[in-house]
Amino acid sequence: MYIFETNIRVRYAETDQMAYVYYGNYPMYLEVARVEMLRSLGFTYKGFEEIGIMLPVVDLFIKYFKPALYDDLLRIKITVKKIPSSKIVFDYEIYNEKNDLLTTAITTLVFISKETRKICRPPEIFIESISKHYTS
């Protein structure tokens, strides 16, 4: 399985009157973490698009346990448990600086041909890159 972690600082504009992160901002945090995870493997959304692959989110599930607060430094842990096929599933855990688990989430993205708009397999170079992190 592939595990990646990144940090995000909560900005004031992302909070509500209680200084809690507004619930609708969590998907943005997940996307930032996903982008950084892909970058760690040598890939970008832009790079996928340039070779004719799009990665839309088809499923999102979020469970909130405790609120993230203004100026918290969040640690987002992503786990990709299975080597991607036509889809890739990301499991997330979001922690604060006290290491409290604040949120868990799952997103499913599918690989889509930009030309045909149909589901396709991921580029072989991507499979090779991520497969290095899995053991038999």
pLDDT, tens digit (0-9, with 9 covering 90-100), for 13-37? 999 988 999 999 999 999 999 999 9
71, 118 contact by CB (below 8 A): no
Q: What is the CATH number of the domain that holds 121?
A: 3.10.129.10
User: How many domains are contained in the chain?
Assistant: 1
Rounded Cα distance between 109 and 136, Å, is 24
Q: How confident is the model at residue 136 (pLDDT cuts 50, 70, 90)?
A: low
Q: How confident is the model at residue 134 (pLDDT cuts 50, 70, 90)?
A: confident
Mean residue pLDDT of the chain comes to 95
Is 136 within a domain?
A: no
111, 122 contact by CB (below 8 A): yes
Structure tokens at 9: 């600082």
Q: Is the pLDDT of residue 135 over 90?
A: no
Cα→Cα distances 99→9, 10, 11, 57, 135, Å: 14, 15, 19, 28, 28
Is 72 within a domain?
A: yes
Residue type for position 33: A
Is 56 within a domain?
A: yes
Read off the DSSP letter of residue 16: -
Write down the pLDDT at residue 28: 97
Domain that holds residue 56: 2-131
Is 114 within a domain?
A: yes
Q: What are phi and psi of 12, to 5 degrees?
A: -55, -40
Read off the DSSP letter of residue 111: -
Is 45 within a domain?
A: yes
pTM recorded for the entire structure: 0.93
Write down the pLDDT at residue 63: 98
Q: What's the pLDDT tens digit per position in 82-97?
A: 999 999 999 999 999 9
| Residue 47, number of CB atoms within 10 A of its CB | 14
Q: What are phi and psi of 73, to 5 degrees?
A: -95, 110
Is 42 within a domain?
A: yes
